[in-house]
């Protein structure tokens, strides 16, 4: 199977994670642990997920001129991710995420974007040739709107499909939705984008119809344990169920899905097969602790899918 290039434009932050028996109330200090530090950020996680599946991955992001920045570049290299367009900000520090994971595997996260939040259109444009040669471009909202706009404009100019993971959700120029090929919000993000509650399959259909009318031809709403809902016009869509696994840590599951989807589409898989592959990548990721370190390899996914059927 031919492996096309996946270019990920977005965030890198260093994850600072601790387990906690329960989420602290306001003003409460909880004794938790163990503590783990690891590479993260939605962009970085998605790049690692795609690379471990076998894609040739280019990462476009920005880090600080500090120890976390050096750690980021070393980790990308270890994961065989091209770092030619990992820029260094001499003023802003490398971003960081403060993560608490409770005994149910649920999480709370505070992200300080730091350097990756200052990624400019000029810097993205330096990667124009790589984007032109990509099979898929993957972008999130965990960086500057300027960088997102520049990425989508370049991909449109070169006819390259774009996956937009609108996370973490904040207001962005919605006119870019007309130039997006695939959008992958979770229930909360789909609700923020449409103003509709998204809790059930019926809710997902109504939200997906609204997003479709905004200009996105392929709407994929991820719904945690329920699976994901796909819609591309017409009266109804399709709910793809999730694989049943024992979740240890759900942090990064959405990133695993997006990286797996990018790999599968870049490899030439049909969209229905790509969604199932992405669902398996996400399922395996929650069986391990962490974000980027929890991303499965292609061999692990293939073995899992051989013994687990939807």
Question: Per-residue pLDDT for 309 more than 80?
Answer: no
pLDDT tens digit sequence for 126-144: 999 999 999 999 999 999 9
CA–CA separation, 55 vs 7, rounded Å? 10
| pLDDT over 80 (residue 204) | yes
User: Average pLDDT of 211-232?
Assistant: 97
pTM, to two decimals = 0.93
The answer to whether 164 and 183 are in contact (CB under 8 A) is yes
Contact 18, 46 (CB under 8 A): no
| Confidence at residue 230, expressed as pLDDT on a 0 to 100 scale | 98
Mean local confidence (pLDDT), 150-172 = 97
- In sequence order, what are the beta bridge partners of 8? 59, 138
pLDDT at position 5, please?
Answer: 97
**Would you state the structure tokens that stand for residue 82, as one six-digit string?**
């091209």
Helix (H, G, I), strand (E, B) or coil at 11: coil
pLDDT at 1 over 60: no
76-104 mean pLDDT: 95
Q: Tell the burial category of 28 from Cβ atoms under 10 Å away from its Cβ (0-12, 13-18, 19+).
A: exposed
pLDDT at 2: 40
- In angstroms, rounded to a whole number, what is the distance separating the alpha carbons of residues 194 and 209? 10
Q: Give residue 149's pLDDT.
A: 98
- What pLDDT does residue 247 have? 87
DSSP secondary structure code for residue 292 in this structure: G
Among 89, 203, 249, 255, the one annotated catalytic: 255
Q: Does 255 qualify as catalytic in the annotation? A: yes
* Domains of the chain, CATH where assigned: 5-307 (3.40.1190.20)
Asked if pLDDT for residue 3 goes beyond 70, the answer is no
Query: Distance between CA 153 and CA 114 in Å, rounded?
Result: 24
Q: Tell me the CA distances in angstroms from 2 to 38, 48, 143, 252, 265, one per residue in order.
A: 31, 19, 30, 27, 11
- DSSP code per residue over 178-189: GG-SEE--BHHH
Cis peptide before 45 (omega within 30 of 0): no
Q: What is the pLDDT of residues 240-283, one digit of tens each?
A: 999 999 888 888 999 999 999 999 999 999 999 999 999 999 99
* Angle, alpha carbons 290-161-239 (nearest 5°): 60
């Amino acid at each position: 199977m031919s492996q096309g290039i996946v270019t990920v434009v977005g965030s890198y932050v260093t994850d600072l994670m601790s387990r906690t028996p329960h989420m602290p109330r306001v003003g409460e200090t909880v004794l938790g642990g163990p503590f783990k530090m690891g590479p993260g950020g939605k962009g970085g996680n998605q790049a690692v997920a795609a690379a471990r599946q076998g894609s040739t991955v280019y990462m476009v992001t920005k880090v600080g001129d500090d120890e976390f920045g050096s750690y980021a570049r070393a980790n990308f290299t270890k994961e065989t991710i091209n770092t030619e367009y990992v820029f260094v900000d001499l003023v802003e520090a490398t971003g960081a995420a403060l993560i608490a994971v409770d005994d149910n595997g649920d999480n709370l996260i505070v992200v300080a974007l730091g350097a990756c939040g200052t990624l400019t259109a000029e810097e993205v444009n330096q990667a124009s040739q790589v984007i032109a040669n990509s099979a898929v471009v993957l972008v999130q909202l965990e960086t500057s709107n300027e960088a997102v706009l520049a990425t989508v404009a370049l991909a449109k100019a070169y006819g390259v499909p774009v996956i937009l993971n609108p996370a973490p959700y904040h207001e962005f120029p919605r006119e870019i939705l007309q130039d997006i090929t695939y959008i992958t919000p979770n229930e909360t993000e789909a609700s923020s984008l449409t103003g509709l509650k998204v809790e059930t399959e019926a809710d997902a259909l109504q939200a997906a119809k609204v997003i479709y009318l905004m200009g996105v031809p392929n709407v994929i709403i991820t719904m945690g344990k329920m699976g994901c809902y796909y819609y591309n016009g017409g009266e109804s869509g399709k709910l793809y169920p999730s694989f049943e696994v024992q979740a240890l840590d759900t942090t990064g599951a959405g990133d695993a899905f997006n990286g797996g989807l990018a790999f599968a589409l870049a490899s030439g898989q049909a969209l229905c097969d790509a969604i199932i592959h992405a669902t398996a990548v996400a399922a395996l990721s929650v069986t391990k602790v962490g974000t980027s370190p929890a991303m499965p390899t292609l061999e692990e996914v293939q073995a899992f899918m051989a013994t687990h059927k939807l």
